[in-house]
Amino acid sequence: RQLVFSGVQPTGNLHLGNYLGAIRKFVALQDSNDCIYCVVDLHSITAQLVHEDLASQTRSITAAFLAAGIDPKQHIVFNQARVPQHAELAWIFNCVARIGWMNRMTQFKDKAGKDRENASLGLLAYPSLMAADILVYRATHVPVGEDQKQHLELTRDIAQKFNNDFSARIAELGLGVEMQMGDETVNGFFPLTEPLIGGPATRVMSLRDGSKKMSKSDPSDLSRINLTDAAAAISKKIKKAKTDPEALPGEVEGLEGRPEADNLVGIYAGLADMTREAVLKEFGGQQFSVFKPALADLAVHKLAPIAGEMRRLMADPQYIDTVLRDGGERAGAIAEQTMHSVRDIIGLLQN
């Protein structure tokens, strides 16, 4: 079985991009994998240290995981700060990774903006912590949206450098595992984790601007559909979504150069579990005045039950805390095993 890990930051309302790009995949992967899903609260303080509602947002993301269908008994759901081994491994990875690698990350450039000297050191080291989140469980697969691809590549670079730098020690301690790298079989401690970025909605765009990613931090609420939006708000946002005056094309090639139309078709495909081709087979030649209400109905049909269940769960914060505590204990046991080996590999005294 593969070991799947992924995380979501408690930085605001979850939106359709987070759902289609990540959470829905988390749910689908449960049947045939062991899964660890984490609310990455330590990541959320990299951009803004003081969050008045960090605790309630952490519970809200947990509620979204459960409401979407993640089973916290079969799998592991917890918040990152409960397992200090994430931060410990991140520190070691800060010493493995190079500053140049971090400086090249587009998310850092976007989030730090022009005033880079004033960005937190944590924002620069964010990918190091993300690599630690994944590798402290030696996870083999990570479902994420397209925007996280570069961070996953960096995770592989860190794993590879650690494996190379300590290859003799890993072999001496008998801690290596065989893995396939292209045509070569290598022996390493950390796996070279594979990203799982597939399907029609790996990069859901803003409803107001087809060139910008749908994001929690966009100041315009009309730019995104929040998982907790009421049916009327979902319909209004889709109705107001930016489009062009043309009808929908019959073929996918006809979406080229039409980012807003492409985005709405992708959202429909993601929600209905169809391909873009199949959506256009159904709606090709139709005007947006026909397509948008159909999309709104579909979005309400898929999202309303999740919102209802989230509300029910949020009314019982003690239950959510129990889930996180139990998940934290189980995650911590695995993470400590890895860290015990890592400390031995590096030569840190611990016994």
Q: Is 250 annotated as a binding residue?
A: no
Q: Is 32 annotated as a binding residue?
A: no
Report the C-alpha gap between 50 and 47 in whole angstroms.
Answer: 9
Closest contact distance (angstroms) between CB of 61 and ligand AQP is 8
Stretch that binds ligand AQP, among 4-12, 162-170, 241-249, 305-313 (CB under 6 A): 4-12
Closest contact distance (angstroms) between CB of 115 and ligand AQP is 17
What DSSP line would sit under 191-246, residue for residue? --PEEE--STTSSPBPSS-TTSB--TT-S-GGG--BTT--HHHHHHHHHHS---SS
Closest contact distance (angstroms) between CB of 169 and ligand AQP is 33
Between 179 and 298, whose beta carbon lies closer to ligand AQP? 298
Closest contact distance (angstroms) between CB of 10 and ligand AQP is 8
216 catalytic? Reply is yes
203 forms part of the interface with ligand AQP (CB under 6 A) = yes
Alpha-carbon dihedral 56, 62, 65, 69, rounded to 10 degrees: -110
Inter-axis angle of helices 85-96 and 149-165, to 10 degrees?
A: 80
CB 239 within 8 A of CB 253: no
How do beta strands 184-188 and 76-79 pair? unpaired
Q: What residues numbered 286-325 form the site for ligand AQP, per CB under 6 A?
A: none
> What 3-state DSSP class applies to 334?
helix
Q: Which of 38, 158, 204, 299 binds ligand AQP (CB under 6 A)?
A: 204
Report the C-alpha gap between 193 and 135 in whole angstroms.
Answer: 8
Between 22 and 331, whose beta carbon lies closer to ligand AQP? 22
The closest residue (CB) to ligand AQP is 21
What DSSP line would sit under 231-287, residue for residue? HHHHHHHHHHS---SSPPPSSGGGGTT-HHHHHHHHHHHHHHT--HHHHHHHHTT--
Report the C-alpha gap between 184 and 182 in whole angstroms.
Answer: 6
Q: Which of 24, 156, 213, 276 binds ligand AQP (CB under 6 A)?
A: 213
Closest contact distance (angstroms) between CB of 14 and ligand AQP is 8
Q: What residues numbered 15-34 form the site for ligand AQP, per CB under 6 A?
A: 17-18, 21-22
Stretch that binds ligand AQP, among 186-194, 212-220, 287-295, 297-305 (CB under 6 A): 212-220
Q: What residues numbered 110-149 form the site for ligand AQP, per CB under 6 A?
A: 144-145, 147-148
- Single out the residue of 310, 302, 242, 351 nearest to residue 62, CA to CA: 310
* Annotated binding-site residue numbers for ATP: 9-11, 17-18, 145-147, 204, 213-217
Residues in contact with ligand AQP by CB under 6 A are 8-9, 11, 17-18, 21-22, 144-145, 147-148, 202-204, 213-217
The residues carrying an active-site annotation are: 111, 213, 216
* Annotated binding-site residue numbers for L-tryptophan: 133
